[in-house]
Structure 1
Amino acid sequence: MAKSCAINAGNDEVPGLVEPILCQPCLNNDKQSTAEKFCSTCGEFQCLDCSNVHYKHDYLKSHKLLNANAARTKQGSFDMKGLDQCDQHQEVLKFFCEDENQLCCSTCAIVDHRKCHNVVEIQKVAGRSTYRNSSLTVELEKVRQKAKLIVASIASSKEKLDEDVKEIPNKIRRMRNEVMKMFDELEISVVKDVKWFQKETLEKMTMKQSQNEKYLADISTYLETVNNVYQSGTIVQQFIVEQKMKNDIIVLDQNVDAECQGLETVIVNFDFDETLKLPPLPITDYVPGQLSLKFHLSETTDALAPVSQAMSITRVNSTNLKQKNNKEKEPLYTGIDFLPDGRLVTVDNFNRKFLVYNEKLERVGSYQLSYMPQSVVAVSKDEVAITSDAKLLVDILRVNKSNDITLERTIKVTTKYGSICLKDDEHFVGGTFDHSTPVLIISSKGKEKDFNINFPNKAYPIEKSACTYIRSSDKVVLTDRDEHTVYIYDVKTNTRVVVKDEQIQEPCGVAVGPSDTILVCCNRTNSIVQVSQTGQILSSYKLDMIYPYRLCISRDKSLLAITNSCVGKIKLQKFKISF
């Protein structure tokens, strides 16, 4: 740990200690000097030597110099509302760990980051640059514009829906002069159906509109905090707000993008049959018209939703996986996933272990299991779910920041799962083996149910199939290793896209990639293939590993991890994704 951490940690016990203001130009040159002045034009605290430059150059003489302590008092008036407090220890945040990119209080610096080499004072690292033109404001404004467009589109759709619904009775009434009785009965029947459809659809639209109005409210709150801190806060407060809010904004952006994917305009129309039977007949015998109810994606969605595009990958890290000692077997990682903070979790089937790797692909945590694990998925920031290839269970493990691992609970199930991914906050999607239904939904309490999909009645052996779920479009992706095929099932319409291509040979692992495209490990061709949701092959990448087997994507879709199943040449590799 940096020596300055230990010194300042002790200063917390000195009553009345006032943290000195450091000269920012000196900090930029790795020097520490006490600031005596504050230039409101430059926006910097400066020592006497640095501030004297204002008297040497004519173009600087118009700058306004203030006493540093007075300026700090004025700037420090911004209420951080707890943002400058450590979430774990409720102490003031004073340090920044550059190794792990985390804000720290004195206790964090001493306890959690004692092995880190670059733990520095926030004032020093914040002084290296200013945040007047914060990217937070730009990103929040982008997300706000998206949310506003969604709300406006839904409002327009509701208005159009109302107009369409009102027009249908009018259209029917115009025909009533020719066949009065028949159209009286027709109106009652059709209006009843369309009113039911309107009510059900409006409920869904109102719920979606309310959710996006909440996003707008959250954005306004963030913007108010960000704007206030850049107007009245210190550079330290500005830095803390940057670090505290950037992950929240990423999640907010992902949520709004997910809303964009499902944005729909409802069209209700009524058309008469081409041949109209004039003799009046009971409505039960003949209906002289057809009510059509349908959805289509709004044109607004095209401008907001991510566009499927070919990606590029660049290898960042690679490690060879070997047996640690004579008591262990050569590892086989049958499941891998990223935790939200960038750590990689894996399950070693042969050695019955759950393992944690840091950003450098160094093993930092291990947990012995009593069974041979089959797959793993990150459930939250510190929880993972693991399936077994023999036992009927899903284990939930907790992994803390120090890489200590504990068993939280066990979910009992009735089916064996070869792959698992998240459906939503309360459900998993599991790819089965030795079961007549290839994909099932699993609740957090172990209740299993089918999708409303006409899957083929086929029981896959273990390792012959894998699945994933595209949350934004409600689609299930299933690989068939022996048939060299990828199936993309649309849950809403109960339709499927069948992807067969010479580049897809023995597909194994599958994951949802950037812009909700599909990434497939192709075992026979030693490659990864990127597929759009419509079945188009977007890109293919040859790997320097034999028999790629499992892959996963980081939460922000910027990193890709892959492992293989070649005896004697097993690797774990991490790639950066770009476009």
Structure 2
Amino acid sequence: MAESSNKISAKISSGDAVPGRKEQILCQPCSRKDLQTTADVFCSECDEFQCNDCSKAHTVYMFMNSHTLVNATEVKPKPSSFDMKGMDICEQHGKLLELFCEDEIELCCSACAIVDHRKCHSVVEILKIAGKSRSAGSQLKTKLEEVKSKAEMIVKHTESSKEHVTKDIKVIFVEIKRMRGDMNKMFDDLEVFVTRKTDAFQAEVANKLAKKRSSGEKHIADVTKSLEIVDTALENGTPSQKFIVEKKLKRQANELYRDVDNECQNLEIATAFFKFDETLKLPLLPISACVPGKLTLKYTLPEAKKYVAPVDPIVKLTKITSIKLKKTGDDVKEPLYTGLDFLPDGRLFAVDNLNKKCLIYNEELEKVGSYQLSYHPQSVVAISEAELAITSKNPCKIEFLRVSKTNEITLIRTCKVTTNYDSICLKDESYFVVGTVDDTRPVRIVSMSGEEKDFSVRFPNKKYSNDTSACNYISNTEKLILADKLEHTVYIYDVATNTRVVVKDDQIKEPRGVAVGPSDCILVCSMRTNSIVQISETYRILSSFKLDMKWPYRVCVSKDQSILAVTNCCGGKMKLELFKLTY
């Protein structure tokens, strides 16, 4: 017989955490069915609390006739076998998480539901959906285990890489000693020179690897901790607890997965080797000024990770749908869309500069949502599935908006900046690339928190007035695109090498909007030729597609690079059109 003193465990209803409310012991068999039923008795043989209905089994089965049942109130239950460690408490309000917003996919307490989710359409009790919702705890565990595996691989890589670079350096000295002979003095000086350089490099390598290892070990510790919680929840938690753990740890698991996957893809291999000159001459200068060979100390990525330039495919545009943009009842002026971008789910987001508003369109270009602004918006970029950023030059700021699945738009926060910004796009997960107005730095970098900094690129000492330039950025190759309307030119800067390519052609007249398309091609609105011009990644003009709209103005491409949206700026003939992108 199991020792009941060590195993007695009962579920306590959520009310026990509220001051002044009486503790309620729940029937354990019912709890496993996600039902909340008050326990009436405790069976020491079964080692569990039961309601009257569940305890009837003792009168049905002969082997249970000898079990002793006592009143549930006479036995003090131990706390739940799974400690939520505060995960079921709202961080903002300190209340129990009892609700789940299906619109915004967030756990809520009663205060959250009233303050933050009062406009949402589907806020339900966790107890009602936890048992019905199919738990993804095993998927969460799989992802965490994958993160742990990759982090362990990073740690192993740091060890092997450290040994590898040490062996490489030893080989250098073996080669140096082999060449010594009659030039002992020169090679003594050479050895001193190489030692100084390799010591510095090896120290740098060791420092980088130590940081990489520390990061990997931290990820392992984080994942191990999360896995312990997931394992315990899967083994001992109720469906509600499992549901909360899953939702709480899902974002952390995704962040860990992204960070570790990114580190895995950027594991540098430090190498060191020395190549002697074909003809050795005794130098009159010190060895530091005249080295008889080439010392190479560098980092490289594995061959499989190196970027391979794609072929230059010609993009074809097939019209899907088109609408005329007209002044509606709440508009002050005719619409002018100065910014377009797709959300990941395919909805199109547009900002109307003249009417101070933003709009949402579905895949058939039906308007499904709008939001009134207090300023004239300049441009927009989608940051995630439900978050966008909008630029404003008067006042100078970047506003962050949230879009729900039901097309409701709310303001999240505002970042004040010091420069007038027009066009905006993503540089990476942490930074924007923004085009300036009346500034000698035509393109700048702004963090998600509003921190501003500059590219290490030599730009001409030139200022662009409002609406005379547009920018975009190709993350894969660190290429910066700048369209110059007055010069009828598209400049492409290589940020890594600080070089510039000038693309100028009769097919490009007053370039306005710029988008990045399939295979990192560049799609430019050529306003005076009423066309979309395609520039390849190798800076060749591949095609020019004639539009049936006058003065194309802004263009964007969907996240899966299958749809293109374009609008124009011809008064009285304003349009918004969607095209399918194919090769």
TM-score, with structure 1 as normaliser: 0.68
- Deviation for aligned residue 1:268: 1.0
1:561–1:12 Cα change, 3 Å: farther
1:283-308 per-residue CA deviation (whole Å, 9 max, x = no partner) reads: 36642111112322125758xx9999
1:478 aligns with 2:478: no
Deviation of 1:350 after TM superposition, in Å, equals 1.9
Please name the residue that 1:183 is paired with: 187
Within 1, Cα distance between the matches of 2:322 and 2:26? 45
- Superposition deviation, residue 195 in structure 1: 1.9
2:222 pairs with 190, 204, 218, which one? 218
In structure 2, the CA distance between the partners of 1:46 and 1:145, relative to structure 1 (3 Å rule), is farther
Q: Which runs of 5+ in 1 are unaligned?
A: 1-7, 38-44, 56-65
Rounded to whole Å, the distance in 1 between the matches of 2:30 and 2:539 is: 58
Per the alignment, residue 508 of structure 1 pairs with 513
Corresponding position of 1:60: none
- How big is the shift at 1:99? 3.3
Amino acid at match of 1:394: K
CA distance in 2, matches of 1:349, 1:260: 43
Cα drift, residue 319 of structure 1 = 9.5
CA apart distance, 1:449: 5.1
Change (3 A) 1:446 1:95: closer
Aligned residues: 521
Tell me the CA shift for residue 467 of structure 1.
2.0
Between the aligned partners of 1:485 and 1:130, the Cα distance in structure 2 is: 52
User: Which runs of structure 2 are paired with 1:368-447 in the superposition (5 Å)?
Assistant: 368-369=374-375, 372-376=376-380, 386-388=390-392, 393-395=396-398, 405=411, 408=414, 410-413=416-419, 416-421=421-426, 428-432=432-436, 437-442=441-446
Q: 8 Å contact 1:357–1:365 — kept in the other structure?
A: no
| SS in structure 2 of the partner of residue 373 of structure 1 | coil
Deviations 1:479-506 (A, max 9, x none): 5477786847352x546899999x9996
**CA 320–374 in structure 1, closer or farther in 2 if over 3 Å, else same:** same
8 Å Cα contact 1:95/1:106 also seen in 2: yes
- Change in Cα spacing, 1:123 to 1:219, as seen in structure 2 (3 Å) is same
Any idea what SS the aligned residue of 1:150 has? Answer: helix
Counterpart in 1 of 2:135?
Answer: 131
Query: Does the CA contact (< 8 Å) of 2:26 and 2:37 recur in 1?
Result: yes
Structure 1 residues 135 and 563: alpha-carbon distance in aligned structure 2, compared to 1, 3 A threshold: farther
Q: Which amino acid aligns with 1:478?
A: I
Mapped to 2, the partners of 1:574 and 1:217 lie a distance apart of 48
Cα deviation for residue 96 of structure 1 reads: 2.3
1:310-358 alpha-carbon deviations (Å, 9 max, x no partner): 99xxx99999865443652233343456899999976432234467999
Q: What's the secondary structure of 1:198's corresponding residue? A: helix
Given that 2:340 and 2:348 are in contact with CA atoms closer than 8 Å, whether structure 1 keeps it comes out as: yes
Residues 18 and 270 of structure 1, relative CA distance in 2, 3 Å threshold: same
CA apart distance, 1:237: 0.5
Q: Which moved more, 1:186-195 or 1:455-464?
A: 455-464
Q: Rate the CA distance shift 1:512–1:392 in 2: closer, same or farther, 3 A.
A: farther
How far apart are the structure 1 equivalents of 2:236 and 2:119? Answer: 36
Percent identical among aligned pairs is: 38
Instruction: Give the Cα separation in 1 of the matches to 2:300 and 2:414.
Output: 44
Q: Which residue of 2 aligns with 1:564?
A: 567
Partner of 1:41: none
Deviating more after overlay: 188-197 vs 338-347:
338-347
The residue aligned with 1:161 is 165
Change beyond 3 A, Cα 1:306–1:122: farther
Contact 1:394 1:410 in 2 (8 A): yes
Q: Secondary structure at the match of 1:162?
A: helix
What corresponds to 2:253 in structure 1? 249
CA distance in structure 2 between the aligned counterparts of 1:497 and 1:24, rounded to whole angstroms: 68
Q: How does 1:11-160 map to 2 (within 5 A)?
A: 15-16=21-22, 18=24, 76-131=80-135, 134-160=138-164
Measure, in 2, the Cα distance between the counterparts of 1:511 and 1:75: 57
> Whole-Å Cα distance in 1 between the matches of residues 169 and 260 of structure 2?
29
Query: Is 2:213 the counterpart of 1:174?
Result: no
Measured at CA, do residues 521 and 33 of structure 1 come closer, stay the same or move farther in structure 2, by a change above 3 Å?
Answer: farther
| 2:471 alignment partner AA | A
- Write the distance in 2 (CA, Å) between the matches of 1:562 and 1:23: 55
1:367 partnered with 2:370: no
Alpha-carbon distance in structure 2 between the residues aligned to 1:558 and 1:93: 39
Query: How far did 1:417 drift?
Result: 4.5
The offset of 1:180, in angstroms, is: 0.9
| 2:399/2:411 contact within 8 Å kept | no
Q: Tell me the secondary structure at the aligned position of residue 136 of structure 1.
A: helix
Partner of residue 11, structure 2: none
3-state secondary structure, aligned to 2:160: helix
CA distance in 2, matches of 1:463, 1:24: 66
| 2:3 aligned partner | none
In the other structure, the counterpart of 2:298 is 294
Rg (Cα) greater in structure: 2
Deviations along 1:153-180, one digit per CA (max 9) or x if unpaired, are 2332222112222332332233222201
- Shift of the 137–552 alpha-carbon distance from structure 1 to 2, 3 Å rule, reads farther
Query: For each residue in 1:70-111, what CA deviation from the matched residue of structure 2 results, as whole angstroms up to 9, or x when unmatched?
Result: 9xx789421111211223322212222333333222333344
Kindly provide the CA deviation profile for residues 528-556 of structure 1, in whole angstroms up to 9, marking residues without a partner as x: 9898x89999xx999999958254878xx
Measured in 1, the distance between the counterparts of 2:288 and 2:96 equals: 75
2:276 aligned residue: 272
Q: Alignment RMSD, CA only? A: 5.9
Letter in structure 1 aligned against 2:248: K
Residue by residue over 1:376-431, the C-alpha shift from the partner in whole angstroms, topping out at 9 and shown as x without a partner, is 45789999765445x58334568799966487552223x65533545675x65333
